[in-house]
């Protein structure tokens, strides 16, 4: 399973060169779980970044990291119990469930993303917003996942870290000033 996931995510390396630089880090990892964190600075205030996160997720989340690709539509209902969902007609996927929402500060969602869901894992994904020194906002994407699997989850941590760098990098790129 780990080898299959690695082959699927290797092509992201080239894509990462196209997104704003994220400070990425595997915070910890064991056979039973891991914590990864990616941070980017964007030239907008926290409320603008929040709105892009929750209202425009379908515009910046990489379609290569969805169940239905370009045909699927992503949405985040940023209320307690709300869904980070993807829909394509009758085909639907619940990626995560909102556990906590404080607009402009923190969005916490629970569940497992992508192939981790099928592995029976569980996780907590947070988007944290804080002012940065340049007058913009630092967005930190924090993910802790774990659970029982016969696979060594420590081997997945760097892969998930790179994928999440791509995801938060997509948000950062979306929030960059548009050039005419």
Residue 63 has a CB neighbour count (10 Å cut-off) of 13
The reply to whether 33 falls in a domain is: yes
Tokens, residue 25:
């880090």
Residue 143: which of 54, 27, 52, 63 has the closest Cα? 27
Tokens, residue 148:
């029982």
Burial class of residue 164, CB neighbours in 10 A (0-12, 13-18, 19+) = buried
The reply to whether 18 falls in a domain is: no
Quote the pLDDT of residue 20: 53
Model confidence at 9: pLDDT above 60: no
Residue 170: which of 9, 7, 12 has the closest Cα? 12
Domain containing residue 107: CATH number:
3.30.530.20
pLDDT tens for each residue of 66-109: 999 999 999 999 999 999 999 999 999 999 999 999 999 999 99
- Greater confidence (136 vs 3) lies with 136
Number of domains in the chain: 1
The reply to whether 112 falls in a domain is: yes
The reply to whether 19 falls in a domain is: no
Which residues are CB-contacts of 168 (< 8 A; sequence separation ≥ 6)? 22, 38, 39, 40, 127, 139, 141
The reply to whether 180 falls in a domain is: no
DSSP structure class, residue 177: P
List the domain range (segments joined by +) for residue 40. Answer: 2-12+24-174
Quote the pLDDT of residue 24: 82
pLDDT tens for each residue of 112-127: 998 999 999 999 999 9
Residue 78: which of 60, 58, 101 has the closest Cα? 101
Quote the pLDDT of residue 21: 59
Beta strands in the chain (DSSP E): 23-30, 33-42, 73-76, 83-88, 91-102, 106-111, 122-131, 137-146
**Cα–Cα distance for residue pair 39/12, rounded to 1 Å:** 18
Handedness of CA 89, 7, 115, 39 (dihedral sign): negative
Quote the pLDDT of residue 166: 95
Quote the pLDDT of residue 6: 40
pLDDT tens for each residue of 17-75: 344 556 789 999 999 999 999 999 999 999 999 999 999 999 999 999 999 999 999 99
The reply to whether 179 falls in a domain is: no
């Amino acid at each position: 399973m780990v080898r299959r996931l690695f082959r699927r995510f290797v092509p992201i390396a080239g894509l990462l060169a196209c997104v704003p630089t994220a400070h990425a880090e595997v915070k910890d990892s064991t056979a039973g779980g891991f914590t990864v964190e990616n941070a980017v600075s964007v030239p907008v205030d926290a409320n603008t970044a929040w709105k892009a996160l929750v209202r425009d997720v379908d515009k910046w989340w990489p379609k290569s990291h969805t169940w239905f690709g370009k045909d699927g539509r992503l949405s985040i209902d940023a209320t307690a119990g709300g869904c980070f969902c993807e829909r394509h007609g009758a085909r639907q996927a619940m990626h995560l469930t909102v556990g906590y929402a404080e607009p402009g500060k923190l969005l916490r969602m629970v569940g497992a993303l992508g192939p981790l869901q099928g592995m029976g894992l569980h996780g907590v994904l947070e988007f944290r917003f804080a002012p940065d020194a340049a007058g913009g906002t630092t967005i930190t994407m924090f993910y802790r996942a774990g659970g029982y699997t016969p696979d060594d989850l420590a081997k997945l941590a760097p892969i998930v870290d790179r994928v999440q760098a791509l995801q938060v990098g997509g948000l950062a790129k979306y929030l960059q000033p548009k050039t005419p």
